[in-house]
């Protein structure tokens, strides 16, 4: 007797893939829950990831909200770099002060 191959509807596959990609569940956990192999679910997830990656080309033009977000994030990164540089100077100064106090106690 040969084994029968199970067939899954596109809706079932999309739902299973949604658990993995949209709800951040592991392929193993979802495969066990729905009763299929990890390999099959992994293939479905791979196909969907490739489809999603191809949906928006990397060199696509930004719309206004995306451009505004990019400007905001660049300004925030610049401010963060300035804060980090200032804190690095404060740390260096604190080290020098600590060294000076340590040498004065002897």
Between 84 and 57, the higher pLDDT residue: 84
- What is the tens place of the pLDDT at every residue in 22-78? 999 999 999 999 999 999 999 999 999 988 877 777 677 888 998 999 999 999 999
Between 79 and 57, the higher pLDDT residue: 79
Instruction: Kindly give, in sequence order, each residue whose CB lies less than 8 Å from that of residue 62, ignoring residues fewer than 6 positions away.
Output: 70
Determine the straight-line distance between the first and last CA of the chain, rounded to whole angstroms. Answer: 90
What's the whole-model pTM score? 0.51
For residue 105, pLDDT beyond 80:
no
Long-range contacts of 27-34 (CB under 8 A, 24+ apart): none
- Please tell me the distance from the alpha carbon of residue 32 to that of residue 36, in angstroms, as a whole number: 6
- Please tell me the distance from the alpha carbon of residue 30 to that of residue 37, in angstroms, as a whole number: 10
* pLDDT given for residue 63 in this prediction: 86
- Stretch 71-92: mean pLDDT, rounded? 96
């Amino acid at each position: 007797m040969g084994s029968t191959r199970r067939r899954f509807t596109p809706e079932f596959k999309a739902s299973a893939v949604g658990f993995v990609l949209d709800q951040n569940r592991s392929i193993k956990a979802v495969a066990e829950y729905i009763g299929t192999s990890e390999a099959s679910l992994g293939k479905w997830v791979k196909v969907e990831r490739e489809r999603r990656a191809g949906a928006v080309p990397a060199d696509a033009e930004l719309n206004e909200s995306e451009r505004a977000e990019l400007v905001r994030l660049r300004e925030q990164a610049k401010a963060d770099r300035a804060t980090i540089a200032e804190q690095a100077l404060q740390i260096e100064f604190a080290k020098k002060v600590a060294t000076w106090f340590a040498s004065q106690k002897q």
